[in-house]
Amino acid sequence: MPCPPPTPGTRATLAACRREPADDHFLYRFRHDERPLEEAEGAFLLCGFVMALAEHQQGRTVEASRWFERNRGACGGSGLYAEEFDIAQRRLRGNLPQAFVHAVLRETAARLGE
């Protein structure tokens, strides 16, 4: 079933996400305080894959692929994903393995492959 067309509100929300809680195609959940985002927590991999899905829905296939590939590369040596990824130290943080991240990875791969 195809996704509904994007609305102006959806476009504005994605633009805001690209500006503030994002860093090099990784996405953080929210700003905890005035510290840099990466000091409060790791990039939230689930959010990065959802951003890839949103970009794909908007017809921005190159950006969708960039989000997908960047977050796909954030797995551990065993191929498993945690919920967060520390960009500076290039290591997993949080719960491991994270089933929701694996599920949305599969969903994103299927959508981008259509």
Q: What is the mean pLDDT of residues 36-50?
A: 83
- In this prediction the pTM is 0.83
Radius of gyration from C-alpha coordinates of the chain = 14
Residue keyed to tokens 């951003």? 51
| Residue 6 scores a pLDDT above 60 | no
DSSP annotation of 27: E
Strands 84-86 and 26-27, bridge-based pairing = unpaired
The residue assigned the tokens 């949080």 is: 94
Residue spans of the domains in the chain: they are 8-113
Contact 21, 31 (CB under 8 A): yes
Summarize pLDDT for 48-106 with one digit per residue, the tens. Answer: 999 999 999 999 999 999 999 999 999 988 899 999 999 889 999 988 888 999 999 99
The reported pLDDT for the residue numbered 26 is 92
Per-residue pLDDT at 32: 64
